Structure 1
Amino acid sequence: MPDLKEKVAIITGASSGIGKGTAVEFAQLGAHLALTGRNQENLQATAKACVEAGTPEDKILLVIGDICEEQVQKNLVEQTVQTFGKIDVLVNSAGIAHLASIETTDMAEYDKLMNVNVRSMVALTQLCVPHLIKTKGSIVNVSSVNGMRAFAGLLAYCMSKSAVDQFTRCVALELASKQIRVNSVNPGVIITDVHRRAGLDEERYAKFLEHSKTTHALGRVGDVSEVAKTIAFLASSDASFITGAQVPVDGGRHAMCPR
């Protein structure tokens, strides 16, 4: 198993979905956690799950707020260092989706999505780099198969994830001399609330999941834990010679061309 014992990890978007699953996985592996999200109740539920998974309550820091806000970003980094003395791992997991095409994209929604999915990631990474240099740490960005392949009706989301992938590659090269590794995971369809929040009602979501069995080579959608385990691997010393990589966790979807 990946060795993350007493490693200090910042995880954004930790109040739900892949961020929450990653926090619990890291807790099982002995990490100390700095978790952030907008929903206080959900973030506290994540913390409770992490305690149950093995991380002591005093080794979990919660910073509640919008990761797009500069002060929240600064508070997260400063409080993490004040509490734990260092930063070993940054997991940029916060993200939103929006169902819209070039004809229907609302520019305010576009700006919001780009701020969450890209700009906040760049800003937070920039703040963490001086601390990661000291620990020769690692960064894992949560991208998507949508960053690797084009899909109609998800214009801004696909664009944002392509940006995340290019950001990952560029920063990996820029920080390689400092022994900081930077990688991304590119999930396919994973059971989370992101699709509902993007606008799918229960009936459309059920049909989407059923259709997704045909668009993934393994014939099923994925589980949050499968992505979380990949993130843990990339964050750990088990992946010591991997940087600048985009790792599909998508049941083979990136290799297929169905729609």
Structure 2
Amino acid sequence: MRAGSSVLITGASSGIGLALALHLARKGYRVFAGVRQHRDAEVLLARSKGRITPVQIDVTSPGSVEQAVQQVAAQTQGSLDVLVNNAGVAFSSPLEMTAHDELTKLMNVNVLGTFAVTRACLPLLRHAQGRIANISSISGVFAAPGLTAYVASKHAVEGMTAALRMEMAAHGVKVCSIAPGKIDTPIWSKGMETSDTLSKQHEGELQSVYRPLLDFYKRYASTEAGIPMKTLLDTVDRALDARQPQARYIVGRNAKWRAWLNCLPTRWREGLVLRAVLSNVTRPR
């Protein structure tokens, strides 16, 4: 992509979205950064020295999405070179311990929000023959226990990416996914707070049943080294600059290892995962 290309990034108030907005602005992109709160817009303006245009958007609100996309279209003559779907939430929780409200919120943001923003932006992207980069996760490729809702949401994003890539091929719009492992961002610390809240709602038997799984993810969150943000930003650069981007970019050594495990027969793969994650589970006789 050339300097001056327009890009809309959702979920740009923190983490990957914030880092990516600042990075692309430094490279000369015309960045529209999606945020939910006015104070986040002020922070972006200050940190970018005015080089970023904040756009207030709630991806779970059709009206907000429509208004935000109209704002972008008005400033780009109805054209958009790049859409980066980054807005998302995450938490670890066995399905039985996942409250309906939290499940609904996760699906609304990760799945329906991604669908809504993409659909609204397609006329602009077709006009520019632009490209879409969906920030997915290795959990969209590799399923692990204790992340059922999150895994389902990211598999949905990967499925949408694959189908939309073929739908848009005739219109010159390139579509790819970026599937990182754990990145050093606040999303998982926020997710662990949600996980703790969900766990506390189920004192007693369910905590006992799922204790090894809950303990595993607490250890993982506190000990697993995150992928450096620069590694992810470099990957996004490749996806945006490539003449023919890959269908999926897997980011991080551990993420690539998990993707490789998918090549194994299902029983072997699940056996290895269960041995690593649930080694202390006492199975019913």
Task: Flag whether TM exceeds 0.5 (same fold).
Answer: yes
Task: Give me the whole-angstrom Cα distance separating, in 2, the residues matched to 1:113 and 1:14.
Answer: 17
Match of 1:54 in 2: none
1:22 Cα deviation from its structure 2 partner: 0.9
Confirm or deny: 8 A CA contact 1:22 1:229 kept in the other structure: no
Task: Give me the whole-angstrom Cα distance separating, in 1, the residues matched to 2:8 and 2:166.
Answer: 22
For structure 1, the residue ranges without an aligned partner over 5 or more in a row are: 52-56, 213-219
Structure 1 length normalisation: TM-score?
0.85
Match of 1:149 in 2: 142
Task: Give me the whole-angstrom Cα distance separating, in 2, the residues matched to 1:141 and 1:195.
Answer: 19
What is the DSSP-based 3-state SS (H/G/I as helix, E as strand, rest coil) of the residue aligned with 1:199?
A: helix
Match of 1:228 in 2: 233
Match of 1:240 in 2: 243
Q: Which has the higher contact order (CA 8 A, sep 6+)?
A: 1
1:66 Cα deviation from its structure 2 partner: 1.8
- 1:112 counterpart = 2:105: yes
Of stretches 77-86 and 87-96 in structure 1, the one that deviates more from structure 2 is 77-86
> Relative to structure 1, is the Cα distance of residues 42 and 118 closer, same or farther in structure 2, using a 3 angstrom cutoff?
same
- Per-residue Cα deviation, 1:49-79 (whole angstroms, up to 9, x for no partner): 333xxxxx2x532122422111111111110
Match of 2:202 in 1: none
Match of 1:13 in 2: 11
> Relative to structure 1, is the Cα distance of residues 46 and 225 closer, same or farther in structure 2, using a 3 angstrom cutoff?
farther
- Of the three residues 115, 118, 121, the one matched with 1:125 is 118
Q: Kindly report the root-mean-square deviation, in angstroms, between the aligned alpha carbons of the 2 structures.
A: 2.0
- 1:30 counterpart = 2:28: yes
What is the DSSP-based 3-state SS (H/G/I as helix, E as strand, rest coil) of the residue aligned with 1:108?
A: helix
1:198 Cα deviation from its structure 2 partner: 1.1
Match of 1:83 in 2: 75
Match of 2:265 in 1: none
- After the TM superposition, list the runs of 4 or more consecutive aligned residues in structure 1 that deviate by more than 6 angstroms: none
Of stretches 149-158 and 42-51 in structure 1, the one that deviates more from structure 2 is 42-51
1:154 Cα deviation from its structure 2 partner: 1.4
Q: Which has the greater radius of gyration?
A: 2
Task: Give me the whole-angstrom Cα distance separating, in 2, the residues matched to 1:254 and 1:47.
Answer: 36
Confirm or deny: 8 A CA contact 1:97 1:113 kept in the other structure: yes
Match of 2:44 in 1: 46
Of stretches 149-158 and 10-19 in structure 1, the one that deviates more from structure 2 is 149-158
Structure 2 length normalisation: TM-score?
0.78
Confirm or deny: 8 A CA contact 1:37 1:67 kept in the other structure: no
Confirm or deny: 8 A CA contact 2:178 2:250 kept in the other structure: yes
Match of 1:95 in 2: 88
Give the 5 Å matches for 1:48-87. 48-51=46-49, 57=50, 60-85=52-77, 86-87=79-80
What is the DSSP-based 3-state SS (H/G/I as helix, E as strand, rest coil) of the residue aligned with 1:248?
A: strand
What is the DSSP-based 3-state SS (H/G/I as helix, E as strand, rest coil) of the residue aligned with 1:151?
A: coil
Task: Give me the whole-angstrom Cα distance separating, in 1, the residues matched to 2:138 and 2:252.
Answer: 7
Task: Give me the whole-angstrom Cα distance separating, in 2, the residues matched to 1:206 and 1:4.
Answer: 43
Match of 1:183 in 2: 176
Confirm or deny: 8 A CA contact 1:147 1:164 kept in the other structure: yes
Task: Give me the whole-angstrom Cα distance separating, in 1, the residues matched to 2:189 and 2:253.
Answer: 21
Confirm or deny: 8 A CA contact 2:44 2:54 kept in the other structure: no
Match of 2:253 in 1: 251
